[in-house]
Structure 1
């Protein structure tokens, strides 16, 4: 049975079920703007008007009795914009250190699944920091958006013209649709299944009886197994310890032109260069803690498979590969060469085929794929001859494109944006997110507050590796 118009997709359902205990499955970012902040009332009204373009942001998750069938999105009859649009002030001196601490505290709190799954904060700086402009923190559950769509949702609030954009909004007051009774929803689901089985429409029945259709679940399982064993298993490291609920963040940045030039000099891609910088910074982190540098270490690298024309669609269009990172290699140029050769090979390998199988057959994506692969690694002991023991990967490194031109919030120019990639599943205490914007390349580093207490130092290592690669 296909997804109904209000049903959560399988990927969205998996994202909801992923969130438990210290694991939070929300994405987001920290946007920093030039100039004085808008009045909060003006900001709030701006968000309210733009919500007409994204109706799901006024909907909550409705679980059906017994939680056997898929949940669905329904209009929140008690929708209160003030629960989602918030106003905070950074204490003096109001610098980036205070901003990062605030972001860490905001991102440590899970979203309330009984309400629409998003928040946005207007952040005013106090003290000397006020001269550095203001910020906005966005926080959205992965069930609503993926890394690519999250940028497009931001574009709903931002404008390419400082004078604003005429989007043809109606300006009408929003009214929630009446909630359907549970028995009506269940009856519709049964009717959908009946139509499929009885041949109404005939094309649906033909697909249901196609011998290849029942193989979807098998292809999904095979895809996960192939993806998990496509690279050698890796040992747990200092960033693979049990994590808690609290997070901290740090930032780094360079120019996109410099990264392109550095990559081109080695016949590599910008994503290869991002992985090389991450590898060098991780090597420095291990050295700074005086622990042995692992000779086997892998990153789960999400990649967009969104098609042209789907840029503004909510939902998930991501695939993944497990990429070995040469932490043991001391030379930066050689690390980039090795990574480029590895990613080029992987794109043509069984690992790429396995990742495609997972997406095609299930629609599951990170953090869902990462959680399942993590579970496969944890379950390796009793079935060691089928899947590798230990871990299939150590951390996530995500690089996504953002707007290539300047964008504005109520006439204020966006200067920088640093993404937030969740820590999922357990025993992944560090993540690396990267986004391009208006000629810049911005890193968002996320760490477990206790396990990665030296995250600021790690950000310095990233900055040093960027300088070494691009100088």
Structure 2
């Protein structure tokens, strides 16, 4: 019998989360300047991916007693690396269509759960669609995996020295008693048809029982009650039943230096700036479609990296989820930014991310039907999954071809039909979308709005006086010729720092978005 090892509860949860309308694959598109040499690419992947990471040579096997990673005795690299062609003269539009089609094609369950499709001839270079099942690893780990395939020089040999894969660590750093308690709570509540929020609240109120889990256990279980009591997300066009048709789109890159300068000038993080631009883009899209934004907030699930130093270089899933309400009702770009900043600061100090990691571990050991029911409850509380992953700052080469653009999308669970991805690479920021056709049939109309919202913030900052606090209402008046009351216009402004000068210096016209 082939060798095998037990799959962690968290990875088991991701393995069992697949649905025909939402497959649990991380999908990426890599665009290269030069045409790729297929044989060199094959040798590189065989040596650096399959040769280093045992997980990429193992099948996922589900049994009544749990799930396992089992060595594939017939592993063949050619089953995972395929050539694919686009029509002659095809461009961005056709590549996006192909990526959307592949995003709903299941991976072969009898083989290791990954596949690379190479389009050898794409706009003078090449492109590749990457699909890797989420049970293998999370986004942070998979960025490291992709980086392990690349070089800083086009002349690097395929068979470079490969460091052995670090020994895997326990992905579920949750006290066993607490994990079992979470699983029992979810199972008993759902079996009885009782209110899950009340059940969790009763548990969180049991001081004698909580004392056995310590301070962090109390925080986690209290947060569980709050999470389950959270109402469903706003009833917008982004909610409904998902289909088996996906659309993908990506923007032209934005210089990362401009984002950093704007954030420093406004006392906000790069993440705050980018998430606020996403909220502004969705608001503008709603308005274009004639959908109301009055009092509308769209809740997003935000993956939060929980990896420690000992997890470096390992696969598996080490992240939790936090909820962020995007204030689409706020038309003032600075007021919206400061709201996002405040909410992100609350999330950073929350037990939500470690709690959701514990929940995934708990449902990974609970019956599959319990997992499905509970994740449906969580999915109803959000409309989108949003990720922001930092990538390498310098250009990279894969099999001698320079990597020009890199996009990726994480899967959405339940009936969530929108995925937003932000990835920095080579001192640029790439914004991309994957959407369910029933919710957003035209994501390519949203992606240009992201850069437009960023430009709006940059322009407003440059129009304000340098030595005075940022006033959102004044900025709106200068931008639009109107002044509207803002909850952050008085008493909640921040002094800009000398980096405002840097923002002015780095703000330069960018090329208009290319046509699909």
* Residues 224, 355 of structure 2: 8 Å contact kept: no
* Offset at residue 254 of structure 1 (A): 1.0
Mapped pair 1:445 → 2:441: no
Mapped pair 1:61 → 2:60: yes
Count of aligned positions: 402
* Offset at residue 446 of structure 1 (A): 0.1
What RMSD in Å do the two structures reach over aligned CA positions? 2.7
What does residue 205 of structure 1 align with?
A: none
* TM-score normalized with structure 2 length: 0.72
CA 279–322 in structure 1, closer or farther in 2 if over 3 Å, else same: same
Which structure 1 segments of 5+ residues have no match? Answer: 171-211, 379-390
In structure 2, C-alpha distance between the alignment counterparts of 1:457 and 1:213, rounded to whole Å: 47
Mapped pair 1:153 → 2:153: no
Equivalent position SS for 1:404: coil
Per-residue CA deviation, residues 304-352 of structure 1 (Å, 9 max, x unaligned), is 111125332101111221111110000111110111011112322xxx2
In structure 1, C-alpha distance between the alignment counterparts of 2:273 and 2:265, rounded to whole Å: 11
* Residues 359, 365 of structure 1: 8 Å contact kept: no
What does residue 454 of structure 1 align with?
A: 442
* Residues 298, 382 of structure 2: 8 Å contact kept: yes
What does residue 182 of structure 1 align with?
A: none
* Offset at residue 398 of structure 1 (A): 0.7
Deviation >3 Å, runs of 4+: 219-227, 229-233, 360-366, 368-374
Mapped pair 1:26 → 2:58: no
Per-residue CA deviation, residues 277-314 of structure 1 (Å, 9 max, x unaligned), is 11001101111111112523211111111112533210
In structure 2, C-alpha distance between the alignment counterparts of 1:161 and 1:365, rounded to whole Å: 45
- Map 1:122-201 to 2 at 5 A: 122-125=118-121, 129-130=123-124, 133-164=125-156, 167-168=160-161
CA 308–377 in structure 1, closer or farther in 2 if over 3 Å, else same: closer
CA 164–314 in structure 1, closer or farther in 2 if over 3 Å, else same: same
Which structure 2 segments of 5+ residues have no match? Answer: 164-174, 186-199, 201-220, 460-516
* Offset at residue 7 of structure 1 (A): 0.9
CA 425–360 in structure 1, closer or farther in 2 if over 3 Å, else same: closer
What does residue 51 of structure 2 align with?
A: 52
What does residue 104 of structure 1 align with?
A: 100
Per-residue CA deviation, residues 242-290 of structure 1 (Å, 9 max, x unaligned), is 1111211100231211111222222111111121011001101111111
What does residue 181 of structure 1 align with?
A: none
* Residues 247, 442 of structure 2: 8 Å contact kept: no
Identify which of 351, 354, 357 aligns with 1:353: 351
Equivalent position SS for 2:110: coil
Per-residue CA deviation, residues 26-74 of structure 1 (Å, 9 max, x unaligned), is 0031111112222x222222211222111111110123xxx32122111
In structure 2, C-alpha distance between the alignment counterparts of 1:161 and 1:61, rounded to whole Å: 35
What does residue 417 of structure 2 align with?
A: 429
- Map 1:38-437 to 2 at 5 A: 38=37, 40-50=38-48, 51-63=50-62, 67-125=63-121, 129-130=123-124, 133-164=125-156, 167-168=160-161, 213-219=176-182, 222=200, 223=221, 225-226=224-225, 228-229=227-228, 233-252=232-251, 253-293=253-293, 294-348=295-349, 352-360=350-358, 363=361, 374-376=375-377, 391-426=380-415, 428-437=416-425
* TM-score normalized with structure 1 length: 0.79
In structure 2, C-alpha distance between the alignment counterparts of 1:99 and 1:43, rounded to whole Å: 20
CA 93–362 in structure 1, closer or farther in 2 if over 3 Å, else same: closer
Per-residue CA deviation, residues 123-151 of structure 1 (Å, 9 max, x unaligned), is 1236xx22xx2111110000011010111
